[in-house]
Amino acid sequence: MGKQQKSRVNDFVLKIANVNGTGSASANSLVMKTVFRMGIPVSGKNFFPSNIQGLPTWYEIRVSKDGYLARSGAVDIMIAMNSQTYARDLQEVAPGGVLLYDSTWPRDRLLSRSDIEIIGVPLARMCNERFANARTRILMKNMAYVGVLAALLELDRAVIVELVKETFAKKPALIESNLEAFDLGAEHARAHLTCPLPQRVKPLGKTAGHIMIDGNTAAALGCLYAGATVGAWYPITPSTSLMDAFKSFCERYRKDPQTGERRLTVELTAEQPAVALSYHMVARRDPDYLAYDLLSSILGSGESSRLFRDLVYDQQVASGAAAWIDGTEHQGLLTLWADVIPGKTPEQTIARIDAVIAELVTKGVTKEEVDKARNQALASQARQLTTNGDRAVELLIAELMDGDYQRIFRLARDYDRVTAADVDRVARARLTPQNRTIGVLVPKDDTASLEGGEK
């Protein structure tokens, strides 16, 4: 143990050395946000020579009661979580400072200094004993060192709990494990280490009326206020986080609620006219998404569907009819489609589609229809999981679109929970003229068949 500095409350630099791709960024930003919410001016910066997984990355946090933002040029506390950069990280600590490392594995005696305090915590061993999954152990080690820091710096646990709940609001299952890892580290520190350090925090009340925002989020907000509506990027840090923020802002503020039916006409080279009626619906992660899926199947999946029977067999205004949903992480569409047969007009076909919708909304769907649609959906899912390649694609889609690859394994259960009443409810809510856009495809040489609609 080296000679420590005198007490430095709300005035020190913390640097964390990690390995790229180990999920450390959220844990590191959690520390900075906690300091900020305790009313203490703080700034942070991520440094990485390369964005390749496995290479080193550093996160530097400056706590300054006077609100200084620039790098100070000295590191008071180093969290050395990357064995590849340990020697470099050791040398960077200012005399009288502190270095904390994972003592699960032995440290070379030569990698030591007498003028600083070196603290070993067996983070990997602690997480290996507590958590079963290998990937979870890696991720939870980050939260474990946050727990150690919380005890050493006197970070407010209530603030951390609040931030963890906000961070994982869309993945509540992760809240418990992250807090468990946090408490694991904090309890170890209080039991085996001298807490707090001379370098620590104390609530200050200087951040009221301020916000904490990173550069990419600020840039995204600037794009929004500048009027941007479209963005394209190469999916890699930092551009991905900028676009994630831009999409989030657009979803919240770039809204133009539809208040009436919209119509458009497209003239293309085609054999026959066609009509499409698209209704706004929910995103994939919405609890009602599967109800819309079953509704689309009842309306237009196969020759026994309501639209096909009415338009093709009974009324003979179309040669084909179908329905489907387009669901992503954003608001989707429920689309009804029909090919108009010669001698009939798009308006006659649209009228029959409206009649089918009116009957469904008025009388509702039957349990038999829902059961059949559910079986079709599950059979389709099974066909998409035939090969290892198919399974990999579906797992990837579930992780990207649903936010959880394990949803594939819960799909049958989730479909079973959808009732006829659920399908009726979403149909009444969304299948209205005010919520739709009608598109009419007219062959270039057959514009006379169009009745109404804007061109």
What CATH number is attached to the domain comprising 322?
Answer: 3.30.830.10
Total residue count of the chain as it appears in this document: 455
Cβ(19)–Cβ(81) below 8 Å: yes
Q: Where are the alpha helices (DSSP H) in 209-315?
A: 215-225, 239-253, 289-300, 306-307
Range of the domain at 239: 216-253
Write down the H helix ranges in 254-387.
Answer: 289-300, 306-307, 346-363, 367-383
Residue 414 and residue 441 in one domain = yes
Mean pLDDT along residues 178-197: 96
The average pLDDT across 285-289 equals: 93
Tell whether 234 and 278 lie within a shared domain. Answer: no
CA distance 246 to 233: 11
Same domain? For 241 and 310 the reply is: no
Shared domain check, 181 and 51: yes
Of the candidates 367, 59, 9, 66, the one whose C-alpha atom is nearest the C-alpha of residue 199 is: 9
Ramachandran sector of residue 255 (left: φ over 0; alpha: ψ -120 to 50; beta: rest): beta
Residue 245 has pLDDT above 70, yes or no: yes
What is the mean pLDDT of the segment spanning 53-57? 84
Question: What is the tens place of the pLDDT at every residue in 412-444?
Answer: 999 999 999 999 999 999 999 999 999 999 998
Eight-state DSSP code of residue 288: T
Higher pLDDT, 190 or 242: 190
What are the pLDDT digits (tens) for 129-165? 999 988 899 899 999 999 999 999 999 999 999 999 9
CATH number of the domain enclosing 40 = 3.40.920.10
Which structure tokens are listed for 163? Answer: 């931030």
270, 380: one domain: yes
What CA–CA distance (Å, rounded) separates 401 from 161?
27
Q: In the structure, what pLDDT confidence band is assigned to residue 51 with cuts at 50, 70 and 90?
A: low
DSSP 398: I
Burial class of 286 by CB neighbour count within 10 A (0 to 12, 13 to 18, 19+): middle
Average pLDDT for 184-200: 96
pLDDT of residue 236: 66
Residue 336, SS3? strand
**What global pTM score does this model have?**
0.61
